[in-house]
Structure 1
Amino acid sequence: MPPGFDEAGRNVCITGTDTGGDMDEHTRQRIFKPFFTTGKMERGTGLEAASAYGMIGNQGGDIEMDRERDYGAAFRMYLPPSGREIPGETGSTADVFTDRKTILLVDDEDINIEVVREILELLGYSVLAVQSGRDAVGLYRQKKALIDLVILDMIMPGMGGGDTFDALIEINPHVKVVLSSGYSLHGEALRIMERGCSAFIQKPFRIEELAGKLAEVLGGKS
């Protein structure tokens, strides 16, 4: 059975289009390869399509892309339906949001901010998002009483994840931080964990994995 389909052959399809320049067949075949880019090589370049492909694939889905000269590209994202019923209302809107936790999301990539913010909001969290370690430290200093947990990207230009974590624990020694990286738990990530970081999650991650990790950290002792 093709990825993105349930046992009945159904799927949820999300379509997006662009009107960019022409793309040859060689480029089309490599569009989802990590670090492949037709532009200048800079930090992070070439990861957006690969990250999206990995995230959707981890949910049992698939991405297809069609290209037509002079008309741009069409991307179709297939996801299997969850099969869950939409819960009815159990109380007032005020009751739903009374205990909502707030997460500070720190990541320098636009696509990661957009996708992870949406996932967190679907899981019932309020989200504050910044794209640099310096901004994260500044915002946390201002709103530490509001922020319950920080999801921190390890590799960022300027002030990286390690320095950002050190600055956060100077503000609050009990800050709860989930370190996020595309690399496995070794080297710099392991050293940050040894300095007291609450948990580690490797990108791209499944929604269930992130939900479980957050529940574990927020439910534990500070």
Structure 2
Amino acid sequence: MKRKLIKLSRRYQAALQKHLTQGPQASLQPARQLGRQAVRLGLETLDVARIHEGALAALEASSSRDGIIKRSEIFFAEAVTPIEKTHHAALNAATRLNQVNKTLDRRTVDLAASNRSLKQSIVHRKTVEKALKKSEGHSKKLLEESRRLQKHLRHLTHRILTAQEDKRKKISRDLQDEIGQTLLGINVRLLTLKKEATVNAEGFKKDIASTQRLADKAKRSIKRFAREIGKHHEA
């Protein structure tokens, strides 16, 4: 690095001397080339200023020293232009980098928030799935219980209908037996009355009264069985 710096200093001095010798119309292209070389070597403006001061001190003084100094300043300014441009570019790059970093920071924050939201969503989904599974199991148990109760209800209904049918049959048999016996008694009494009508008037009256009682009994039996059948239907 030191050898390269020495070579650059010598080239700078030679280029400056040539520039001053050529006068005000001299080209500044050599100064720009030296500046680009300084950039490649990683030199800063202060480093080039030291090289410039050393080159200027090595030149011999002349009667037009003020003009030489002014033109040398122009040469120096042109030489450090590439360095200043790199500084400007570096500043712009730093600004852009800072903006990119801020954008990345915001995106990192947003990403972290999204990750938290995603984790919460996953936890919520798992909770819902667990609740659904539990609810599904509970619903299955309720369905099984409902089916069992329906089966039991059908069984009870069948038993009730069977019991009602048996009771109707029993009432019907009892009604037939009791009314049949009563009517048979009435029929027997009527036959007896027919035979005794011309023989015993007093006994005839008693038989009529007895027959009336049998008829009343049959009437009451019919009403009673009718009420029982009515209650049975209401039940």
Could you say which TM-score interval applies, normalised by the shorter chain? under 0.3
Task: Answer with 1 or 2: which has the greater Rg.
Answer: 2
Instruction: Give the TM-score normalised by structure 1.
Output: 0.19
Greater strand proportion: 1
